[in-house]
A and B are shown apart, each in its own frame.
Chain A
């Protein structure tokens, strides 16, 4: 495989809260290669957003604090860069699309100006007219109709979907090498979601950027991702290609996600939700953080006492489960309960 574009290595990000220190990201590692889309899934609070916020240095410090780890962009450690250098990378080499387009644009500045700002910051030689021309092109590319009129409109004159298109235009303005999309469709109507994902695909093809797509929507993952990183309680619990994740999950949590969601491609008679609640990040369960909710680990001493490492199963697949080799049986059990066949031959994804 080619050298990774962006490589997150053993990242630990903590927050100091009045109730104690929260380790929001605990030893997370994953790579992004040029042109590929890495989907990051997990429940709220699993640390998926904080990880990418740390990449761009957007975690407010204090209370946030990067304890250890490396974030290598083409071999350069972003965590070691002085802020002026990091600023040159923000919006240029690494660009970000945020979750809520309603609040992510400045209400008192025109959308066009806010995108032009992204262009001109990294290319001060560009005149206002040139920047305007380029922004209008970008807006057309992301499917904003009447782009040159829309340039002068304010965010409140845009619909949610249009705003997110504007955010995507802003992110791709400088042809970034890495595009981070943090739940880009969560705040949108289902009908608009599909359109925005299309636009995101266009943006990615246009720039050939390595993309990190954060979502808790497995449908979006199936649609967009090449590889998947599953996170739970601040740690990576499983990685693999999108097919492997959907058909042969290697971690009980991933299986739990799959069996608690109705899917068009798998015929589920009934759902099996993950029992219990996501853990409090202030007092995580001992050993494997998933063990109180895990059927596979039920009653097993090792799960309660020993934190599993991320076992490398070869071929880019890894799992942080002590008993990952028993997953075939566990999948079979869940298939029994739900009446579904996960490892189906049809390729509906």
Chain B
């Protein structure tokens, strides 16, 4: 299995290179990376020409790409187009923040969805089942940004009615977050609304998968065998039914992890979080290809690693699957 994982990781290298190459081409072709500079009245033509020269913007784009690529390992993912700052420190900061948000959302979504899916499958066609089904479809169809605004408005209304600030509405930390546990608590409170927003679609999707696979499993022959053995319903559900039903659900969850990253773009903008999504939008507006391609490499690696994680989990949960 280790050699399988290594082989899969090695495959990511050419895939990342190819995707960065394509995106680099697309971004350089889509606009003028110096337009920001040009719009500023106190920037001289000389300064613009200077940047054009040092970054070699008149070279063919494969040459530009190669120049950027050369710096990636040695010069912290290269520098921004118009300033000699490294990209890496910014990227590290926003990745750290986004991972907190996305991992919290994924864990929350998965646990909630499994619980909902199991409960509705066990009470198929009950009022509970119909209610969760309806809410799932609403959650699935609802625009994320709108749901985020609804949550914010609700919290504001509660504040206006009762005078209690139950949750912060934006940013990742208070002005003085403190240290240690106090900092952690402050961060957790700030993440509550973003996590709920980000996970709502995932909960809707995963719980449908969980319900469907659970239904299939609880009508299976081996669950009947388990029942004929005299096991209690709790043991049957946990040991025999859920373990089998989790296999497809975990796969879906791991594969959709990349999707959460793109969902995070919207959430981070609405809640003003200093994360990858916010960063990506800013850089995109400036048409600076270097940070965009750096960002993309990270996301590509994350997505592929999680695809690998999905495959490995699949093999762990289902003994019929072996890697060699």
A59 CB, min distance to chain B CBs, angstroms: 10
Please report the C-alpha to C-alpha distance between residue A96 and residue B220 in the assembled complex, in whole angstroms.
16
Question: Please, how many angstroms separate the alpha-carbon atoms of A106 and B222 in the complex?
Answer: 5
Offer 21 A-B interface pairs, CB within 8 angstroms, sorted by A: A58-B224, A60-B219, A87-B231, A87-B232, A90-B228, A90-B229, A91-B228, A91-B229, A91-B230, A103-B220, A103-B222, A104-B222, A105-B225, A107-B244, A117-B226, A118-B229, A121-B229, A121-B230, A121-B231, A167-B225, A170-B229
Q: Which residues does chain B contribute within 8 Å of A87, judged by CB atoms?
A: 230-232
CB < 8 Å neighbour of B228 from A88, A96, A107, A156: A96
Q: Which 8 pairs across A and B sit closest by C-beta, in order of nearness?
A: A91-B230, A90-B230, A91-B229, A103-B221, A106-B222, A118-B229, A154-B319, A104-B221
Cα of A89 to Cα of B229 in the assembled complex, Å: 9
Question: Is A98 within 8 A of B221, CB to CB?
Answer: yes
Specify the chain A residue showing the minimal Cβ separation from B220.
A103
Contact A90–B317 (Cβ < 8 Å): no
* A107–B230 touching, CB < 8 Å: no
Q: Is A95 interfacial (CB-CB < 8 Å)?
A: yes
Question: B220-251 toward A: CB 8 Å interface, digit per residue (1/0)?
Answer: 11101111111110010001100110010000
Q: Which residues of chain B are near A105, meaning CB under 8 Å?
A: 222, 225
Given pairs A90-B230, A156-B320, 4 additional interface contacts (CB within 8 A): A106-B226, A117-B226, A117-B231, A167-B225
> Are B221 and A107 in contact, with the CB atoms below 8 A?
no
Query: Is there a chain B Cβ closer than 8 Å to A344's Cβ?
Result: no
Could you tell me which residues of chain B, from 206 to 226, have a CB within 8 Å of some CB in chain A? 219-222, 224-226
| Minimum CB–CB distance for A260 against chain B, Å | 30
Chain A residues, Cβ within 8 Å of B230: 87-92, 118, 121-122
Q: Is A335's CB within 8 Å of the partner chain B?
A: no
Are A107 and B320 in touch, CB under 8 angstroms? yes
Q: Which residues of B contact A92 (CB under 8 A)?
A: 230
* Contact digits for A103-115, partner B, Cβ 8 Å, 1 yes 0 no: 1111111000010
Q: Which residues of B contact A60 (CB under 8 A)?
A: 219
Interchain CB contact under 8 A, A107 and B229: no
For B235, list chain A residues within 8 Å (CB): 121
Q: How far is the CA of A154 from the CA of B220 in the complex (A)?
A: 17
Q: Is A43 an interface residue (CB 8 A)?
A: no
Q: Which residues of chain A are within 8 angstroms of B239 by Cβ–Cβ distance?
A: 109, 117
Distance between Cα atoms of A171 and B65 in the complex (Å): 68
Asked if residues B224 and A98 are in contact (CB atoms below 8 Å), the reply is: yes
Please give me the residue from chain A that is nearest to B319 by CB atom: A154
**B318 at interface by CB-CB < 8 Å:** yes
- B231 → chain A, closest Cβ, in Å? 6
Q: Which residues of B contact A228 (CB under 8 A)?
A: none
| Range for the number of chain A residues in contact with chain B | 20 to 34
Docked-complex contact B240 and A109, CB < 8 angstroms: yes
Asked whether any CB of chain B lies closer than 8 Å to the CB of A196, the reply is no
Check: A56 CB closer than 8 A to any chain B CB.
Answer: yes
Please tell me if the beta carbons of B232 and A108 are within 8 angstroms of each other in the complex: no
Q: How far is the CA of A167 from the CA of B224 in the complex (A)?
A: 13
- When distances are taken between beta carbons in the complex, the residues of chain A under 8 Å from B318 are 107-108
CA distance A170 to B320 in the complex (A): 22
Using known A-B contacts A107-B320, A154-B320, determine if residue A58 contacts B227 with beta carbons closer than 8 Å: yes
Q: Give a binary string over A81-104; 1 marks a CB under 8 Å from any B CB, 0 the rest.
A: 000000111111001101010011
Q: A69 → chain B, closest Cβ, in Å? A: 20
Given the known inter-chain contacts A107-B320, A108-B317, please indicate yes or no for A56 contacting B240, CB distance below 8 A: no
8 Å CB contact of A90 from B227, B243, B319: B227
Q: Chain A residues with Cβ under 8 A from B247's Cβ?
A: 108
When chains A and B are docked, how far (Å) is the Cα of A106 from the Cα of B320?
11
Shortest C-beta distance, A128 to chain B (Å), equals 14
Q: Which residues of A contact B222 (CB under 8 A)?
A: 103-107
Residues of chain A with a CB closer than 8 A to B225's CB? 98, 104-106, 114, 167, 170
A106: chain B residues within 8 A (beta carbon): 222, 225-226, 240, 243-244
Residues 288-322 (chain A) with a chain B CB within 8 angstroms: none
Question: How many angstroms between the C-alpha atoms of A90 and B232 in the bound complex?
Answer: 11
State the CA gap A170–B222 with chains docked (Å). Answer: 13
Residue on B with the closest CB to A57? B227
The interface bits of chain A over 156-193 (1 if a CB of B lies within 8 angstroms of the residue's CB, else 0) are 10000000000100100000000000000000000000
Q: How far is the CA of A109 from the CA of B317 in the complex (A)?
A: 10
| Interfacial chain B residues near A56, Cβ < 8 Å | 228
Chain B residue numbers with a CB within 8 Å of A114 are 225
Question: By CB atoms of chain B within 10 A, which of A60, A103, A108 has the most?
Answer: A108
**Residues of chain A contacted by B224 (CB below 8 angstroms):** 58, 98, 104
> How far apart are B234's CB and chain A's nearest CB, in angstroms?
11
Distance in angstroms between the alpha carbons of A235 and B61 in the assembled complex: 83
Chain B contacts for A95, CB-based, 8 A: 228
Which A residue's beta carbon lies closest to that of B240? Answer: A106
Which residues in B have their C-beta under 8 angstroms from that of A90?
Answer: 227-230
Measured between C-beta atoms, what is the minimum distance from A268 to chain B in Å?
37
CA distance A88 to B229 in the complex (A): 9
What residues of A have a CB within 8 angstroms of the CB of B243 in the complex? 106, 108-109
Q: Mark A263-278, 1 if CB is under 8 A from B, else 0.
A: 0000000000000000
Tell me the smallest distance from the CB of A174 to a CB of chain B, in Å.
9
Residue of A88, A92, A96, A106 contacting most chain B CB atoms (<10 Å): A106
Give, as a whole number of angstroms, the nearest-CB distance from A182 to chain B: 10
Residue in B225, B235, B239, B247 with the greatest tally of chain A CB atoms within 10 Å: B225
Give the nearest-CB partner of A167 in chain B.
Answer: B225
Residues of B within 8 A of A107 (CB): 222, 244, 318-320
Least CB distance, B78 to chain A, in whole angstroms: 47
Closest to A96 in B: B228
Nearest CB in chain B to that of A60: its residue: B219
Chain B residues with CB below 8 A from A98, complex form: 221, 224-225, 228
Q: Is the CB of A108 within 8 A of B220?
A: no
User: Separation in Å of the A211 CB from the closest CB of chain B?
Assistant: 15
Minimum distance in angstroms from A219 CB to a CB of chain B:
25
